Structure 1
Amino acid sequence: MAGWLLGVAGAAHAQTLVTQQPLRWNADALGNHRYLLQVDAPAKAVHVVIPWRRRDAQPQHVAVIVTAPDGSTVANVRRGRIDQASGELVFQAAQAGTYAVYYQPYVSKGRSNYPTVSYAEPSDTADAAWARKVGDATHWTHLPQAKVLRYEAVDDFDAYTSMERTATPAEQQALLAGHGSDALLLFPETRANPIRMFDALPESWAKRGAGGTLSDTAQRGEYLSFQVGAWAPRVAVNHVDVRFADLRADDGSIIPASALTCFNLGGIGYDGKPFTSRVDVAQGRVQALWMGLDVPASAKPGVYRGEVIVSADGVAAQSIPMAITVGEGNVVAHGDDDPVKLTRLRWLNSTLAQDDSVVKPFTPIAVKDGTLGILGREIRLDASGLPAQITSHFDERMTGFSGQGKTLLAAPVQLIVEDDGGAHVLKGAHVPQIHSDGPGKVHWQVGASAGALRGDVNASLEADGTLVYSIALSAAQDVSLRDIRLSIPMQHDAARYQLGLGRQGDRAPDDVGWKWRVQNNQDGAWIGTVNAGLEFHLRDENYRRPLNTNFYQQQPLRMPASWDNQGQGGIRLRNEDKDYLAEAYSGPRQMKAGETLHYDIVMRVTPFKTIDPAKHFAERFFHKYGDLDAIKADGANVVNIHHATPINPWINYPFLEPAAMRAYIDAAHQRGMRVKIYDTVREVSDRAPELPMLESLGHEVISTGKGGGFSWLQEHLDGDYIAAWHVPENRDAAVINAGQSRWHNYYIEGLDWLARNEGIDGLYLDDVAYDRTTMKRVRKVLQAHRPDPLIDLHSASQYNPRDGYINSALLYMELFPYIDRLWFGEEFDYEKTSPAYWLTEISGIPYGLMGEMLQNDGNPWRGMLFGMTNRLGWSAGSDPRGLWKLWDAFGIEQAEMIGWWVHDTPVKTNRDDVLATSYVRKGRKTLIAIASWAPQKVEVKLAVDWKALGLSPAKATFTATAVNGFQPQATFKAGEAIPVEPGKGWLIEVE
């Protein structure tokens, strides 16, 4: 029953277990729309004019298919006048009965999950002799006339609504004739009729006329959304403005104007900051102005009257009267439990969880003079406001902290301005004073100088280890500069590994030169070792998060004018005698008096948190929708539910099967199991009732693009979008969202609703299109309802041209503090890459995470060096149950994991290309994971620190338990050479 849809975009879009109502006909062959005609008697030819009022711009270039009552295709068909208003046809009717005219047949090519749909062009299938007898269109009115019965769609969702039936040119002209030279015509609409066309006028508007009263009903406490359509028929209209008057009832009760808002004119951004938007209406275009009324729960029942006042530059204000009937009843949660009512539009301006509180496991920031203490780390500030020293107290095992700590820097981080007079270090007068924003965030400012430039440093630190610097360098007079550069000198033993800047994770190179390129999603790097590291990114005031996961090139990185300096800037990494130097330079330039450049920097100090191997091994994932009893019998206790499943059918819109979802989750909880659902914001399903409203916001939420994709998108959207994932089995199609937007506020409220009403235990994230601001809020809302929510992140490798050669770990490192597990992932190379690549790019351990493998089911031997298996349920080959059984027999949850990277690891091999990780139950037994990177079969001997294991070598036995597909039964003696096949290894129990 399950159909697997593995795609480049990620493990994301996996299984389909959705039962759909059967379509009325085969849409792939005939299209989604038809008119039924009645022919009373057989005839050589019948004539019909179908008043289809189409919204597609050039229907004359699209084929029609006529079928007879027996379902056969009628070949003898002639086309007359075909336009948006109507279509004229003559066809042979060999039998009486009901005929069907399919008028938007399409052809689908390409990948099923990213289809390329084009509309069939007209072709002449008529017999020449028949066509001659029919003659030209001047004779057709004398033919028998077929009767138009009705319009039908292949299903209810594909059907054109009344708001998608276009007005004829004559109807438009008649409407305009009654409005003189009016530049802007207004049409009020309730939420029941979302405006869906922006380049054509609906039939209903032309017939009823502009203006009129907005009449609707609401219950007390309900959030009532509504629209005003603004049409600019003659000239472009700019700077549309909306104001509201108080709503007043006959008894004097008032709902104040402040309870009303127009979403198109601004609101609260994803970052919690208010913003305004300008609305212009191009000539001939329709702009839907979506508005909301927050009806107070205390409102008295009755009819409330007020007005919406719309004006624009050079356009006189127009009033739309409002008459809102408030009923006797009170709704729960503003009516949010029914998404079709669009009460959730208020979520777009939500500030839920937008604060500087601390989430587990992080601790409040401790401030002592110029030193800032966070979980396991300290940052001491220099007089510039930049770090003078960074210390990590994480131990190498990554399960605890050490008192002495490990310093990262060989010297303070410096911003240096070089001119003809030499190099000048940006410096303030003294170490900055720290100001608290809350337990989870502090900030500071520094007034500094460097040579002829003044520097204004605004900086902050958050409890997870993120430092954000906004550094404005200003010239009081014209100045010639040789360079402005950032120097990060790191201790050699802290700069063991590096990833980013066009390099995949590996040992830190001795010398690297990197230049800015818009084709690459690269603006920084991570340099560090397992228990101490520093991530940095270089930006300016115009930074915008690029799109990711196949779509980077459609919204790439904006080159920072400061650091890039028209291609002269770059980054050098050098292994020097005293330090490992990361140096970002911008090159020579001229600055004019009064000019300001923004040299912004984001840094993150790693690790973010300790790992918890016992918890990791106890939480066993089943990555598929399925029978809970069977899943539990297999040993799994956490179920990841994709979209395209019965309880979560639609991608990133998990609200339309609430009863089924709640029943499944309740059943899981009764069995001691947890359920996480797929929900991100990278794309949104066409099933979201809010989609027409989101279109009205221009490209605030929906990315600009070339359109196309699945037929529903082409037939019901305005054409300026990026087509995203499509599930053929349930005809779910999606569009890409535009990076950071108010849809993130909606997302946060949606997660809160799911946690409260559905009982979800966490999230499965399949690549992510939001930044840490939203990720923190995700953690907070889930943690508010679950003591231990689970969030796991999957990513396909982003290191490819379509994703801008960005390392997945670097792309998502800002999110790592707030997630629990990684699943990296499709297109990751588990066979031809180094142990350092595994450690830094896949495992998550240097950042405080553990994970699992995906591509080709991973490499189980190498995986066990990092505590990784594949996931049960994902594919036929993904079966870690044998390893789970071995873990339980050994008691791995009671063991201490000591990785091969730990300098005093108690078990080592005699080869650098065969590594060992130990799971130690001191004084009882130890499980040794061995994995080879040697190119051929080798024999290795183990060097064992018996005291560290608490075992006696004289009494120790070495046993490899048989695990199907992993290893045969075997025993070894202390000191005996152990044969290891290339790319494989062992799990050997010592006791």
Structure 2
Amino acid sequence: MKQLILTLSIVCLFLFVGRTQDNIVPSPDLYGVGDWDADSLGNHRVVVKVYDNTDLVWAHIPWRRRDAQPENKSIIVVDATTNKMVKNNYPVAVNREFGDILFQPQTVPGEYYIYYLKYQQHGRSNYPKVTYPKLSNEAEPTWLKEAKATSKDLGAQPKAELVQFQSIDPFNSFYPMEVIATQNEVSQLLKEHGDTDYLLFPETRENSIRMTKDLPFKWIQDGVSNQFSAKALKGEYFTFQLGCFAAQNAIEDIKVEFSSLNHRGTPVVEAGEFTCFNTEGIDWEGKPFAKVCSVAKGQVQALWIGLQIPLEIEAGEYEAVITVKPKQMAEQQVTLKLAISEVAVLAAGDNEPERLSRLRWLNSRIAEDDGIVAPYSALELDGNTVKCLGRQVAFGEDGFPESIQSYFSESVTKIQGSGKELLAAPVKLVVETAEGTSKWTKPSFKLIKQKEGAIAWELQNEMPGFELEGKAQMEFDGNINYQLVLTATKDMELNDIRLEIPYQQAAAKYMMGLGYKGGFRDENIKWKWAVEKNQDGPWIGTVNAGLQARFTDNHYARPLNTNFYQDKPLYMPDSWYNEGKGGINITSEKSGSVLLNSYSGKRKVKKGDQLHYYFNLLITPFRPIDTNKHWHNRYYHSSQPVDTALAHGANTINLHHANKINSFINYPFFIPERMKAYIDEAHDKDAKVKIYYTVRELTNKAPELFMLRSLGDEIFSNGNGGGFSWLQEHLDSNYIAAWFVPSIKDAALVNTGISRWHNFYIEGLNWLVTNVGIDGVYIDDLAFDRTSMKRIRKVLERGNPGALIDLHSANQFNPRDGFANSANLYLEHFPFIDRLWFGEYFDYNLPPDFWLIETSGIPYGLMGEMLQDGGNPWRGMVFGMTGRAPRVNVTPLWNAWDDFKIEESEMIGYWDSNNPVKVNSKDTYATAYVRKGKQMLIALATWAKKDDAVKLKIDWDAIGIDQANAELYAPAIDGFQQEKSWMPNDRIVVPQGKGFLIVVREKE
């Protein structure tokens, strides 16, 4: 009966709202698509038809627009027959509900197009700025005067017939979920339900709830309901929505509860199999969490619900009761009536993105374990000493490191028997009062976890005025994380709380971070916290032994990076930052050590106050450099036919996005059969295929987009909106526009730094490995944490052993990006990737120490490639780096490698004291690739400001070649060098900015 009354009320409403709605009810036939140039006229138009031959015709358009202030946007009238603009037009009234427009028809009878969201695009094509021109009028003055006079009595004018609302394509359509209800309709609805705080509107997954500030007219038609009927398949992960309209009052928080799914009164699926994604979830670390879901008065919140239908379930009719429980409001129930068919669906429906079954991926715990990945070995615990691959850490009774040793060779290509000590003294946390430094009196160190990939312990200690409790964990890649909580046991004034890390002088040769480019360490460094700087700690070390220290607290949130850092900068940690008093000093001590002092400065504490001092230590290198793999895997970075890549000599293809195989950024699921066919062809020809797939931003084409938006700022970063027209017209505001591809109109949004989307991403990666056969991923800058990266590596290795990850980054050492060193920023991920590609804006004219520390990857167990302007191939070879095909022609250089048989060689860098080649110049450097007893390849390059004439001193015994019968030969390499030869004692003139590849061999 109530539903009948509501229906009659709506019918009466249409009869009495007058010309505002013109008795036109939105329906599927009223909305279609057209074909026109959107960049010239916008994405939307109204088609009307004129039958009267007159100077003035009235078009009444009940468009029900979701955009704000439509009266400020231009309106264009075009004669459909001639395609000419009708300048004589006059918008009499324009608002969100309707528009009244007078115009002078040219072709009668004839159709006319009225474009009402014309936009103008400015700025960089991949980051467009789109504006909407204001309403203007170019009508002839005489006609305009008559039109204005006539506008006072529109009902007396000949009227154009409304034919259809059109969008440029279905994706741009507003129907049905963005066609707004009018104020009168909403008022009537509120009147009907005046005693109800909130109203519920069940909705299918096909009609994602898109608006938060308006009701869709569809809900006026459908009405409020406490029942929802739907169909599902066996084995499907079934999703749907409840739209919650805060009709009378704001809702502080919503909880959603479920009954079991019943069949003929018998429970079949337990209530726990339901989930409401908007009120609960599993985070990226596998931890359950509850979400506060609030709704402002007059606004709409989508409640997305999911249920796994068992594959073995009996077909038939099922029911469940969903209880919506807003805080301090009466609960409401919705009965779900689910008809389950005999048909079963594969993979829960994941192979069909439009089913939105993949939403369950948001709560995935895949690869969330303490297992290890190659080439790492299980952690070994011997007393208080923990060993990981190539390194070992001895912990004192307080739980802090007192010794850190690295066993990597100087060229980082192997692990050796003797270790290199990093620390000059134990790491310690120091508390200093006015009376001086306080002493810790009750150290306690208790093991709480021992797995192959992680060993964890608890710390406790005391001193006058403070109790310390904390947790620490060391993992198989050499990462050590500390979470310390200091609780004041009395009121105190403190001079400082600081962490001291004393480095051995020999292990503190280089540094990057804290506003310093990678390279030789300055003697004394003073740094202060500042939100403008994406900096929270340095890496200090030498090539084969180093330690990164980063400082955070319990409120840490990963900032955005690259172009978006200023939109969500680094959170200043309360403990270390201390209202600007904190900082880091790095000083050379009289004892010969180098002290890193992370201090927090003076502060007052009261009894019971807690201070969270969190920090992270990361020991480098992570693994021996696998030079054979580096020489063997030859990258082709372009979406071209497989044979094109192979013709260049490549065997590893990176499929970028914005192509016919991998179309939309970070959502490679639309055409998997095409991608699989390409990959299968590559595999048949002994090549690998990796794809562009990461999480920094997400295409607007993702079917889950509006559901993700319903999660507030959990998945997408808050921002000022803007960007491409589709974003502005369908999302309104509160987002950050990201990368845009004009050719396919792929408009991305920026993700938050870290979220449940990482779970979805990793599940998606697993799906791609399993169903498509990808051989890895190309990651374009990193927007996730090391926990997610570990999971990514595990998924790849477990699904496709030998899969590869390469990381590209632009140089972020600039004001916009917070003067971050890309290598330092992403160092925590390096243990799990295979190659670096650094990158746009890197200056390859900087000194060799910059190359070594910040671009080569060598001190961390990696190797890399160059990008900006193709790089410098001569200097690059000193570090084993080239440009990447087809951006540069690497084929001749690859052929030279093969002629030399570089895969059989040992790489010994200029930084290695065992290098058998010495150069008598401070500006020219040599790296040796030694095939002992056979040949040696010398990569020689100069950083001198002019040609440099040098002599080489070669340790002939070390390379096993007879000097008396040796020659130095530079083979002809197209684009690199002409053929040339020297005798061992000859001077070699190295051209400015260039170098040679010289084969040292015995004469035949």
Scaled to the shorter chain, the TM-score interval is: over 0.9
Q: What corresponds to 2:47 in structure 1? A: 36
Return the match for 1:929 from 932, 939, 955.
Answer: 939
**TM-aligned CA distance change 1:311 to 1:627, over 3 Å:** same
Q: Tell me whether 163-172 or 139-148 shows the greater mean CA deviation.
A: 139-148
Given that 1:623 and 1:873 are in contact with CA atoms closer than 8 Å, whether structure 2 keeps it comes out as: yes
Query: Aligned pair 1:497/2:502, yes or no?
Result: no
CA distance in 1, matches of 2:758, 2:475: 21
Over the residues paired in the alignment, what is the CA RMSD in angstroms? 1.2
Given that 2:908 and 2:914 are in contact with CA atoms closer than 8 Å, whether structure 1 keeps it comes out as: no
Query: Aligned pair 1:669/2:680, yes or no?
Result: no
Q: What corresponds to 1:54 in structure 2? A: 65
SS of 2:293's equivalent? coil
Query: Aligned pair 1:173/2:187, yes or no?
Result: yes
- Displacement of 1:207 in angstroms is 2.5
- Displacement of 1:140 in angstroms is 2.5
Query: Aligned pair 1:576/2:589, yes or no?
Result: yes
CA distance in 1, matches of 2:541, 2:193: 70
Q: What corresponds to 2:134 in structure 1? A: 121
SS of 1:869's equivalent? coil
Given that 1:417 and 1:450 are in contact with CA atoms closer than 8 Å, whether structure 2 keeps it comes out as: no
- Displacement of 1:937 in angstroms is 1.2
Query: Aligned pair 1:293/2:307, yes or no?
Result: yes
Q: What corresponds to 1:959 in structure 2? A: 969
- 1:246-277: CA deviations, max 9, x gaps? 22222735222212110000210011111001
1:79 aligned partner, one-letter code = P
Query: Aligned pair 1:763/2:774, yes or no?
Result: no
- 1:114-144: CA deviations, max 9, x gaps? 1111112100111111122232422322222
- 1:587-615: CA deviations, max 9, x gaps? 12111111111111101000001101111
Percent identical residues? 47
- 1:844-887: CA deviations, max 9, x gaps? 0000100100001001111000100000023xxx1111111111
- 1:386-443: CA deviations, max 9, x gaps? 100000011112111111111101111111111133223546446x243334210010
Query: Aligned pair 1:401/2:415, yes or no?
Result: yes
Q: What corresponds to 1:67 in structure 2? A: 78
2:829 aligned partner, one-letter code = L
Return the match for 1:463 from 465, 468, 476.
Answer: 476
CA distance in 1, matches of 2:965, 2:437: 66
Q: What corresponds to 1:5 in structure 2? A: none
- 1:766-805: CA deviations, max 9, x gaps? 0010010100010011111111010000000111111111
Q: What corresponds to 2:900 in structure 1? A: 890
CA distance in 2, matches of 1:891, 1:452: 66
CA distance in 1, matches of 2:967, 2:668: 53
Given that 1:415 and 1:425 are in contact with CA atoms closer than 8 Å, whether structure 2 keeps it comes out as: no
Return the match for 2:699 from 672, 685, 696.
Answer: 685
Q: What corresponds to 1:539 in structure 2? A: 552
SS of 1:698's equivalent? coil
Query: Aligned pair 1:101/2:123, yes or no?
Result: no
Q: What corresponds to 2:986 in structure 1? A: 976
Q: What corresponds to 1:324 in structure 2? A: 338
Return the match for 2:644 from 630, 649, 653.
Answer: 630
Q: What corresponds to 2:26 in structure 1? A: none
1:888 aligned partner, one-letter code = D
1:480 aligned partner, one-letter code = E
Q: Where in structure 2 are there 5+ consecutive unaligned residues?
A: 1-32
Given that 1:519 and 1:804 are in contact with CA atoms closer than 8 Å, whether structure 2 keeps it comes out as: yes
- 1:159-200: CA deviations, max 9, x gaps? 112010000111111211210232201100010111011110
Query: Aligned pair 1:86/2:98, yes or no?
Result: yes
CA distance in 2, matches of 1:306, 1:434: 47
CA distance in 2, matches of 1:333, 1:577: 66
Q: What corresponds to 2:767 in structure 1? A: 753
Q: What corresponds to 1:480 in structure 2? A: 493
- Displacement of 1:23 in angstroms is 8.0
Return the match for 1:370 from 384, 407, 413.
Answer: 384
SS of 1:321's equivalent? strand
CA distance in 2, matches of 1:31, 1:616: 49
SS of 1:163's equivalent? coil
Q: How does 1:346-495 map to 2 (within 5 A)?
A: 346-426=360-440, 428-429=442-443, 432-495=445-508
Given that 1:370 and 1:434 are in contact with CA atoms closer than 8 Å, whether structure 2 keeps it comes out as: no
Q: What corresponds to 2:817 in structure 1? A: 803
Q: After the TM superposition, which segments of 4 or more aligned residues of structure 1 sit over 4 Å from their partners?
A: 425-428
**TM-aligned CA distance change 1:276 to 1:113, over 3 Å:** same
Q: What corresponds to 2:16 in structure 1? A: none
SS of 1:661's equivalent? helix
SS of 1:815's equivalent? helix
CA distance in 1, matches of 2:386, 2:411: 24
1:445 aligned partner, one-letter code = E
SS of 1:916's equivalent? strand
Q: What corresponds to 1:10 in structure 2? A: none
Q: How does 1:578-617 map to 2 (within 5 A)?
A: 578=591, 579-617=593-631
1:769 aligned partner, one-letter code = A
Q: What corresponds to 1:4 in structure 2? A: none
CA distance in 1, matches of 2:586, 2:786: 27
Return the match for 2:800 from 754, 778, 786.
Answer: 786
CA distance in 2, matches of 1:759, 1:938: 50
Query: Aligned pair 1:164/2:178, yes or no?
Result: yes
- Displacement of 1:221 in angstroms is 1.1
- Displacement of 1:57 in angstroms is 1.7
Residue correspondences, number? 965
**TM-aligned CA distance change 1:425 to 1:73, over 3 Å:** farther
Return the match for 2:274 from 231, 236, 260.
Answer: 260
- Displacement of 1:81 in angstroms is 1.6
Which of structures 1 and 2 has the larger relative contact order (alpha carbons within 8 angstroms, sep 6+)? 1
- Displacement of 1:959 in angstroms is 0.9
Q: What corresponds to 2:879 in structure 1? A: 866
1:57 aligned partner, one-letter code = A
1:958 aligned partner, one-letter code = L
**TM-aligned CA distance change 1:932 to 1:425, over 3 Å:** farther
CA distance in 2, matches of 1:304, 1:417: 64
Given that 2:806 and 2:837 are in contact with CA atoms closer than 8 Å, whether structure 1 keeps it comes out as: yes
With structure 2 as the length reference, what TM-score do the two structures score? 0.95
- 1:3-31: CA deviations, max 9, x gaps? xxxxxxxxxxxxxxxxxxx9821111100
Q: Where in structure 1 are there 5+ consecutive unaligned residues?
A: 1-21
